[in-house]
Structure 1
Amino acid sequence: MLHTKTSQIEEIIGEAIAKARQYKEPQLISVVDQIDYNDPYQFMDNGQAVDDHRLFWKSAEEDFTLVGIGTASKLFATNERRFREVQSLWNEIREHAVIYNRYGEKGTGIVALGGFSFDPQQGESSPWEAFPDSQMTIPAYLLTNKNGQSFLTTNVLIFPEDHQQQIVNQIADHREKILNYSQRDLRLPERTKAVEVSPEEWKRSVKAATDDIKKDLLEKVVLARELRVSFQEPVQIAAVIQALAETQDNSYIFAFESEGEYFVGATPERLAKVEKRELVSTCLAGTVPRGRTEAEDHHLGQGLLNDPKNRSEHQFVVEMIRGAVEACSTNVHIPGEPVLYPLRNLQHLYTPVRATLDEGYTILDVIERLHPTPALGGMPQKESVEYIRHHETLNRGWYAGPIGWFDDHNNGEFAVAIRSALIQHDSASLFAGCGVVEDSDPEAEYEETAVKLKPMLSVLGGC
């Protein structure tokens, strides 16, 4: 059920073409319809009949899912001011866009989804050639599922030379394919091979880092490693994100397709959320596995709460986030002690941060101040990132970078892209990291990363 009639679409497009010709520049239009409830995974799968640029986001804490198909516009930035540059591009688009949205629900209208690399100064591009340093996409078609309701946003960039009926016909054809396309069975991939990338070299890098920390070169550094897997056939991304959503219910589920490759994951770590100027951030650092019994689970959790190394690592994150949030917010509230945050395979130390975002600031201002947190880079921030750049055994690309969305009402949410994989047709690279401090044991840190790889391995051929 679409509430916007074909005649209305024709009229909107006709007016946009006239305006584009008058001002001799493209005109972005955005039309929001409420539709019958639409399954987001089937919508994602259907979208490949329209475009090989698809985007997926599912909240960890509420019934809220975004699925984008195709591109109306992309926002790129490649320098150290990338967050501000993307914000500037977004402001310009929002100022000139014509939006038909009588519902006003968050995540409808013009919405940008995408992410940023961990380190814009990383010199190596492989294997991330398909993913620019910064890429936020306003999709051509956006499904927003919220509290059991579905909305379809159609975004079109109109050029002066466009023809009205041709665009109307194209929209009708695309809507038919993504909303009514014949369903197919979604199957998880069958893994044929799994190879750890230089595990002994990685352990040596952890030992070298502990030595450098003892020399006071830095206080903490997060080091990541890679696992490469192969499959019998190309991966069905909709099947993977559906399985992640079913098994990792306390995590943000995300997938970003670029040039036919996918960056996908289930991350428990929110970076920041803004809704009606209310800001929420998360301190999530310190990790142990879940227990096999309730008693063992409780024992492991209490051990984590009382472990000096993990509590110190957690406090690093708390203090850094406090400083970043206080720089652009008021009414900042942070509990004095962390609690446990349980996932299917792991449990973490968790401290929520709440505040009111000051006028004139946006979620990208917050992300710029937060990224990378000590949980993803280390302490001090600048020194740890430089250390990773020169000593880590892989190119992180978008791994551990900020990924998320924002809309034209200044709502948005970003998470940290951990527990993730870069899928390239019939192969994938999986990533996991851990915080290294003075007394870190390389073998113990290696085992921690092995546990962190399990959520992605479970949907990419089994553990």
Structure 2
Amino acid sequence: MQEVNIHTPVLTKRLQQLLHKPAPGVPFVRIEQPVPVCNLLTWLEHQNAHLQRSYWRDRDADIEIATLGQCWKMPIPSRQELSKATNTVQRLINDSGHWAEKARSLLWLSFSDVDRMVWPTFGYGCVYLPGIEMQLTRKGATLACYIQAGTDELWQSGIRSTLKQLDAINWQVTGAREAYQLGPVQYQPDQAGWNGNIAKATRAFAAGEMQKVVLSRSASLTIEGVFSPWRLLQRWRTANPRSYVFAVEAKCGDLFFGCTPERLMARRGRVLHTEALAGTTPRGGTREEDKVLEQTLLSDRKNIHENRLVLNDIRERLGVLCQSLEADRSHSVVKLKSIQHLRYLIRGVLHAGVTDAQLLTALHPTPAVGGTSREVAMSFIEQREGYARGLYAGVFGIVSPEHTEMAVTIRSGLLRRLSDNLQQLSLFSGGGIVQGSVAAEEWQELNNKLATVYSLLKDAEQETVAL
């Protein structure tokens, strides 16, 4: 057993001193202490699941956050409630003044707010301030706590609760190996259902009802034995280092997590960055083969058309929100471990007063995960896909007055505990369907998109068999 060399005397002593003082009269306070750098995913793995763990790392690894519990939260039951939720948390942070200079809330949204598409354990969305936060930046690591401070009652109970949470943190890291077996994969929809959905989409294209729809499937399998999603997530981010990494835990223990290359938006002040990511081909087995596949992707009409639909839709939706907006003159290629994508980078300067809720409403879901036109494509997905996407193809990220950044939650999975020794993992993948798409080729693209995570699962399983 290895012990992480982190202790909490500074935070504990500070809280004990504040316990005997009146509430500051601000919405909340954030208190931190510097700590040695440690692996945040390993740290989360060894904390109690009932604390509702969550994790976020941006694509450039500029900021990494691991949280336990929630100091404050606001559920988002529908798209119509999004503005109220984001405006409320922004106001809480602003009104807390110097106490909240480094504060960031976290937010998730599902793909759709239609009841049959939402996972009940998560709901459509939520924005929250953590209870305990470990944060890692290029300047170092900090351990922080958030406490509601608007009234003496909230203040006193919040401090006492936080002291108990700090005392319960596990700083010991075990070296126990995983040992598990994977069950067979079951698809929803299956390949026959997939073929039928593409045939229906093709008829809708011919009728002029929509130009593109992103169809998806879940691939579910059981995992028997000792399995840690936090270790899988660590291997996943190592395999695809230039990706967003995220995890969020429901009260019941269900865990949604993933490693996604796609940015929905990054806003610093009024400067906005987003992208059109669509069009996919596999990686090659050799450098020469990989280059051939890249050049084929760059000139492939179907993939270029799919990508341009995403680009044009984003530009149209953001045009009214930006005083200036520009995109790359030509598409480029993003390379991941098993696949490569076409991408346009988009930059803009927002009009004064544009809110994060307006940006989220304009951008989510993009045609890269929904289709065009948005309303028709989403209706097609909700009626035909045959399973609840939930948080898959939704968004997850951080929200604050100065810096908001959201990832699109593709390349993701949902882990549910069935018993003490048995879990179910559902992995999700989707593909853009346009006129001319071939069902068998699109099915194989879904397999390609899951190849990285599935190979990581199999490799770890085989290691345990060899022991």
Q: Tell me whether the two structures share a fold, i.e. TM-score over 0.5.
A: yes
Distance, in Å, in 2 between the alignment partners of 1:436 and 1:37 is 44
Residue from 268, 279, 282 that aligns with 1:289:
282
Whether the 8 Å contact between 2:257 and 2:413 is mirrored in structure 1 is: yes
- The 1:18–1:291 alpha-carbon spacing in structure 2 relative to 1, beyond 3 Å, is closer
Show the counterpart of 2:313: 320
Deviates more, 1:183-192 or 1:323-332: 183-192
RMSD (CA atoms): 2.4
Contact 1:40 1:67 in 2 (8 A): yes
Query: Match for 1:192 among 183, 188, 192?
Result: 183
Query: 2: CA distance between counterparts of 1:304 and 1:18?
Result: 58
In structure 2, what is the Cα distance between the partners aligned to 1:168 and 1:88? Answer: 26
| CA 163–68 in structure 1, closer or farther in 2 if over 3 Å, else same | closer
**Deviations 1:114-136, CA, capped at 9 Å, x for gaps:** 311111124355xx221110112
For residues 44-83 of structure 1, the aligned pairs below 5 Å read 44-48=44-48, 51-83=50-82
| Structure 2 match to 1:132 | 123
Residue 444 of structure 2 corresponds to residue 456 of structure 1 = no
Q: What is the Cα deviation at residue 297 of structure 1?
A: 0.5
The alpha carbon displacement at 1:356 in A equals 2.1
Structure 1 equivalent of residue 387 of structure 2: 394
**Aligned residue number for residue 219 of structure 1:** 211
Provide the rounded CA distance (Å) in 1 between the counterparts of 2:412 and 2:115: 19
What is the aligned partner in structure 1 of residue 406 from structure 2? 414
2:437 to 437, 440, 455: 440
Equivalent runs, 1:300-339 vs 2, <5 Å: 300-339=293-332
Query: Structure 1 residue 42 and structure 2 residue 35: aligned?
Result: no
Counterpart of 2:56 in 1: which secondary structure?
Answer: strand
Q: CA 1:276–1:88 in structure 2 vs 1: closer, same or farther (change >3 Å)?
A: closer
Q: Percent identity?
A: 24
| SS of residue matched to 2:453 | helix
Matches within 5 A, 1:325-404: 325-404=318-397
Secondary structure (helix, strand or coil) at the match of 1:458 reads: helix
Q: Quick check: 1:63–1:148 contact (8 Å CA) kept in 2?
A: no
Report the equivalent of 1:93.
92
Q: Which runs of 5+ in 2 are unaligned?
A: 1-6, 418-422, 462-467
**What 5-or-longer segments of structure 1 have no aligned partner?**
21-26
| 1:355 alignment partner AA | G
CA contact (8 A) 2:178 2:226 kept: no
* In structure 1, distance between residues paired with 2:22 and 2:272: 36
SS in 1 for 2:280: strand
Q: Which residue of 2 aligns with 1:236?
A: 228
What displacement does 1:188 show? 7.5
Moved more, 189-198 or 5-14: 5-14
In 1, Cα distance between equivalents of 2:36 and 2:74: 31
CA separation of 1:78 and 1:170: change in aligned 2, threshold 3 A: closer
Q: Does the Cα contact within 8 Å between 2:148 and 2:158 map onto a contact in 1?
A: no
Whole-angstrom distance in 2 between the partners of 1:296 and 1:120: 42
Q: Tell me, yes or no, if the aligned pair for 1:56 and 1:254 is still in contact at 8 Å.
A: yes
Shift of 1:254: 0.9
Contact preservation (8 Å) 1:82, 1:134: no
Whole-angstrom CA distance in 2 between matches of 1:399 and 1:306: 30
Q: Which moved more, 1:56-65 or 1:343-352?
A: 56-65
- Secondary structure of 2:381's counterpart equals helix
Counterpart pick for 2:111 among 114, 118, 134: 118
Q: Distance in 1 between matches of 2:155 and 2:283?
A: 59
SS of the aligned residue for 2:116 comes to coil
Which of these residues, 11, 18, 22, is aligned with residue 12 of structure 1? 18
Q: Indicate the larger mover: 1-10 or 319-328.
A: 1-10
Number of residue equivalences: 446
The answer to which of 255-264 and 51-60 deviates more is 51-60
SS of residue matched to 2:444: helix
Change (3 A) 1:179 1:16: farther
Distance in 2, Cα, partners of 1:413 & 1:459: 28
* TM-score, reference length from structure 1: 0.89
| Cα drift, residue 326 of structure 1 | 2.5
Runs of 4+ in 1 over 6 A off after TM superposition: none
Residues 1:452 and 1:16: Cα distance change in structure 2 (over 3 Å): farther
How much has 1:428 moved relative to structure 2? 1.4
Q: How far off is 1:42 after superposition?
A: 2.3
**1:275 CA displacement:** 2.0
The one-letter code sitting in structure 2 at the alignment partner of 1:41 is: L
Shift of 1:63: 3.4
Instruction: Give yes or no for contact 1:207–1:441 (8 Å, CA) kept in 2.
Output: no
1:400-456 CA distance string (max 9 Å, x none): 01111112x330211111111111020011111111111111101100111112233
1:193 CA drift (Å) = 2.7
